[in-house]
Amino acid sequence: MADSEAPMNNLYHSLDEAKVGRKHWLTVFTSGMGFFTDAYDLFIIGTVTVLLTPIFHLNTNQISLLNSISLLASVAGALTFGRLMDKLGRKRMYGVEVAILVVGAILSAFAWNFTSLLIFRIIVGYGVGGDYATSAVITSEYSNRKSRGKLIGTVFSMQALGLIAGPAIASIFLSSGVPSDLSWRIMLALGAIPAASVIYLRRKIRETPRYTLGIKGDLAATAKTVAWVTGEQAFVSTEKQATAGASMRPRPIARLTQKPFLLRLIGTAGGWFLLDIAFYGNSVSSPLILKLLQPKGSLLSHTLLSLLIFAVAALPGYWLAVFLMDRIGRRRIQWQGFAVMAAAFALIWLIPGGATSVAIFLPLFAISYFFTEFGPNVTTFVYPAEVFPTSIRGTADGISAGTGKFGGFLGALLVPHLLQSVGISGVMGIMAAVSIVGVLLTIVALPEPRGRSLEDASGELPVLFEPNSASTTSPTATAS
Query: Is residue 475 in a domain?
Result: no
Q: How far is CA 309 from CA 44, 159, 170, 361, 367, in A?
A: 15, 15, 15, 12, 9
Residue 380 and residue 271 in contact, taking contact as beta carbons nearer than 8 Å? yes
**Domain ranges, residue 351:** 3-448
> Do 199 and 205 form a contact (C-beta atoms < 8 A)?
no
Q: For the domain that residue 417 is a member of, what is the CATH number?
A: 1.20.1250.20
In a domain, 469, yes or no: no
Parts of the chain with a pLDDT under 70: 1-9, 233-252, 461-480
Positive or negative: CA dihedral 153, 158, 161, 162 = negative
Is residue 421 in some structural domain?
yes
pTM of the shown model:
0.88
463 inside domain? no
Secondary element (H or E) of residue 85: helix 60-88
The pLDDT, as a whole number, for residue 247 is 43
pLDDT for position 468? 38
Tell me, what's the pLDDT at 242? 39
CA dist 378 and 453 (Å) reads 20
Instruction: Give CA–CA dist 437/376, Å, rounded.
Output: 12
- Is residue 7 packed enough to be buried (19+ CB in 10 Å), middle (13-18) or exposed (0-12)? exposed
Considering its fold, how many domains does the chain have in total?
A: 1
Q: Per the omega criterion (within 30 degrees of 0), is the bond before 260 cis? A: yes
Which residues, 6+ apart, have CB-to-CB distance to 352 below 8 Å?
Answer: none
462 falls within a domain: no
Domain-located, residue 453: no
Per-residue model confidence (pLDDT) at position 251: 56
Q: What is the pLDDT of residues 276-303, one digit of tens each?
A: 999 999 887 887 888 888 888 787 888 8
467 phi and psi angles, rounded to 5 deg: -80, -30
Distance CA 316, CA 328 (A): 17
Position 465 in a domain: no
Reduce the DSSP state of residue 459 to 3 states and report it. Answer: coil
pLDDT at 263: 95
pLDDT digit string (tens) for 369-424?
Answer: 999 999 999 999 999 999 999 999 999 999 999 999 999 999 988 998 999 999 99
Round to whole Å and give the CA distance between 71 and 276. Answer: 10
- pLDDT reported for residue 233: 63
SS3 477: strand
**Who contacts 87 (Cβ-Cβ below 8 Å, separation ≥6)?**
none
Q: Which amino acid is it at 210?
A: R
Question: Do 189 and 111 contact (CB within 8 A), yes or no?
Answer: no
**Is 454 inside any structural domain?**
no
